[in-house]
A and B are shown apart, each in its own frame.
Chain A
Amino acid sequence: MSKYIEVGRTYLKTQLAWRGDVLFHMLFTVTKILFACLLWGLIFEEREMVSGFTYHSMLSYYIISSFLSQLEKSGGISEEITYKIRNGSFSNYMVLPISIEGYFTAMEAGIVLFYLGFDLAAAFIWVFIFRIEFVFVQSGFIFCCALLMVIIGLFFMVQLNYFLGILTLKYEEISTFLMIKNNLISLVTGSIVPLTLFPEAVVRYMKLLPFYYVTYLPSMLLTGRCRQEAVTGLFVISGWCIVMQILIVYTWKKYSRKYDGVGI
């Protein structure tokens, strides 16, 4: 465990080298809030409620979902693995005396911990600047469920991106697919608009997918909605983590032998 903690700590420190990036990372979180503020401001001029949201509860949703989607930085894992496999330097990870997946999970944890404070600060600043009457959950139990769901959701995204990354061993070039995945994930995690705006049948199907529980449901729980889904949500996302782990182990066993260390 101490090895993984050391990896996480190293990546946490590495972030300090790019202070300008941290500042811009914080500044660019405003685009999502600005989008929400302008779009929903225009819509709420003519009505008070949209799909159960008031203007301020809608913006509170966006503040939280933007905060959570900013925290999720595992997209870099699949890109890194693809790049390393393609240029033959993935061996650097294979010779490490720790699990490769564990290494990337610790890396993600280090990065998330570093950005956590900055993203929270950015969220507070936007609440203040955009004068949002912030709506937040009152129940401690729901808050804990949401927090746990966020952590499991982040872990699931690490698993997913690790899985996609190692698929390079079979498919060789997956960068186009990764970009398409990023576009689709922004929709299905509810980071562009709340999923509740979609027809009920669509939402029912989305509940079967893990992405519903990564950003959308935690954001809804933290704004005091969908309480009845909190516990089942934890089970569903945990189940998906187990399924993904099985897929990772199977894929790694099957294709790791294809890696010859000389690049593609």
Chain B
Amino acid sequence: MKQFRKNYRVLKELVRLRFQNLMMFKIGFFGPFFVDGSLFAVQLLVFQAVYSNVERIGSWGKGEMIIYIGTYSLLNAVNMVICFFGICGISGKIKNGEMDLYLTKPVSPLFRISLERINPGSIPLVIMSVCIIFYGIHTADMQPGGKKVLCYLFWLLIMQVFYYDMEVLIRSIAFYTISTAKMEQLEEACLDLCMKLPGIAFYGIYKFIFYCILPYGIMATLPVQSLIGEMSLGLGIYGILAVCIFTGVTAFLWKNGIRHYNSASS
């Protein structure tokens, strides 16, 4: 409880400092919202065009696909608001020795790095994503009950943690290598692919890659499947297992990396 209170005070201070910083560059305040907003608007237009020529893609109709885009956008938006800009700097901080500053502070380095660059300018993106999801539910002519909505929210929360894990995991590799630029490029390519393509489209070796090795394929797919009632028990158990395993691996790599860290010569 004491630790929680301390972290809360640190968080409050970080948010205050961040607002001060953002107010200095007012033009860029809503920049991430416009950039990612346009990205997901393009996605919606693309699938609008595809669905004007076909009725279904696999088992999903237009409504399900819109929910998928909205869900992916929501995961991305929450991530942008909370931790994306902080986590992005991890590799650089390890490389140039700036991590020293974080290690000497009386608060968890990962906690501080993750939350020191929150981005309130992306909050409209969260609202936009929720609107897309509602539009998808309306298009699919669904009336999900309370149980399904709760399931969906549970999976959203789990996948938000998973998204965070994957981001930290990839950047933690910087503790052991000279550069993680290629890994980050790989992450970007996988995210780009899985943003356009729901997990139901993967089969065979692709399913193995995007469900097990680089499991970006499950990130928005599982919440949507839980909402539309397409999720099997096995898939649910696999999803939770995957998140637990990747959280464990991330924690191990980060903690071991901190021990391995040798200041600017890392």
C-beta contact mask, A40-66 vs B, less than 8 Å → 1, else 0? Answer: 011100110011000000000000000
Q: Are A176 and B31 in contact (CB under 8 A)?
A: yes
Q: Are B197 and A197 in contact (CB under 8 A)?
A: no
Stretch at the interface among B3-11, B52-60, B78-86, B104-112: B52-60
Residues of B within 8 Å of A198, CB to CB, are 49, 52
C-beta contact mask, A192-229 vs B, less than 8 Å → 1, else 0? Answer: 11000111000000000000000000000000000000
Known A183-B42, A192-B42; judge A42-B57 contact (CB<8 A).
Answer: yes
Contact among B34, B45, B52, B53 with A176 in the assembled complex (CB-CB below 8 Å): B34
Residues of A within 8 Å of B182, CB to CB, are 20, 24
C-beta contact mask, B42-70 vs A, less than 8 Å → 1, else 0? Answer: 10011001101110111000000000000
Closest chain-B Cβ to A211's Cβ sits at a distance in Å of 13
Known A28-B189, A31-B189, A199-B52; judge A180-B27 contact (CB<8 A).
Answer: no
Contact among B35, B42, B206 with A187 in the assembled complex (CB-CB below 8 Å): B42
Please tell me if A38 contacts chain B, counting CB pairs below 8 Å.
yes
Chain B 203-224 residues near chain A, CB threshold 8 A: 203, 206
Chain B 165-212 residues near chain A, CB threshold 8 A: 182, 185, 189-190, 192-193, 196-197, 200-203, 206
Q: Are B28 and A173 in contact (CB under 8 A)?
A: yes
Once bound together, how far apart are the Cα atoms of A176 and B36, in whole Å? Answer: 10
Residues of A within 8 Å of B202, CB to CB, are 38
Residues of A within 8 Å of B197, CB to CB, are 35, 38-39
Closest chain-B Cβ to A38's Cβ sits at a distance in Å of 4
Q: Are B193 and A35 in contact (CB under 8 A)?
A: yes
Q: Are A183 and B49 in contact (CB under 8 A)?
A: no
Size of B's binding interface in residues, CB under 8 A: 31
Once bound together, how far apart are the Cα atoms of A39 and B200, in whole Å? Answer: 10
Size of A's binding interface in residues, CB under 8 A: 29
Q: Are B185 and A197 in contact (CB under 8 A)?
A: no
Residues of A within 8 Å of B54, CB to CB, are 43, 46-47, 50
Known A24-B185, A176-B31; judge A35-B196 contact (CB<8 A).
Answer: yes
Once bound together, how far apart are the Cα atoms of A46 and B57, in whole Å? Answer: 9
Q: Are A28 and B185 in contact (CB under 8 A)?
A: yes
**Best-buried of A24, A31, A42, A186 by chain B (most CB within 10 Å):** A42
Q: Are B27 and A186 in contact (CB under 8 A)?
A: no
Q: Whose C-beta in chain B lies nearest to the C-beta of A192?
A: B46
Chain A 59-100 residues near chain B, CB threshold 8 A: none
Please tell me if B256 contacts chain A, counting CB pairs below 8 Å.
no
Residues of B within 8 Å of A38, CB to CB, are 197, 201-203, 206
| Interface of A: prevailing SS | helix
Please tell me if B96 contacts chain A, counting CB pairs below 8 Å.
no
Residues of A within 8 Å of B38, CB to CB, are 180, 183-184
Please tell me if B39 contacts chain A, counting CB pairs below 8 Å.
yes
Residues of B within 8 Å of A43, CB to CB, are 50, 54, 57
Residues of B within 8 Å of A24, CB to CB, are 182, 185
Residues of B within 8 Å of A179, CB to CB, are 31, 35
Once bound together, how far apart are the Cα atoms of A213 and B263, in whole Å? Answer: 52
Closest chain-A Cβ to B56's Cβ sits at a distance in Å of 7
Q: Are B45 and A187 in contact (CB under 8 A)?
A: yes
Please tell me if A116 contacts chain B, counting CB pairs below 8 Å.
no
Beyond A39-B197, A175-B31, A184-B38, 16 extra complex contacts between A and B, CB < 8 Å: A28-B185, A35-B193, A38-B201, A38-B202, A39-B57, A39-B201, A42-B58, A42-B200, A46-B54, A50-B54, A51-B53, A176-B34, A180-B34, A192-B42, A193-B50, A199-B52
10 closest residue pairs by CB, A with B: A176-B31, A197-B49, A179-B35, A183-B38, A38-B201, A187-B42, A180-B38, A198-B49, A183-B39, A42-B58
Which residues of A does B touch, CB under 8 Å?
A: 20, 24, 28, 31, 34-35, 38-39, 41-43, 46-47, 50-51, 173, 175-176, 179-180, 183-184, 186-187, 192-193, 197-199
List, sorted by A's number, 20 A–B pairs whose CB atoms are closer than 8 Å: A28-B185, A28-B189, A31-B190, A38-B202, A39-B201, A41-B201, A42-B57, A43-B50, A176-B31, A176-B35, A179-B35, A180-B34, A180-B35, A183-B35, A183-B39, A183-B42, A186-B42, A187-B46, A193-B50, A197-B49
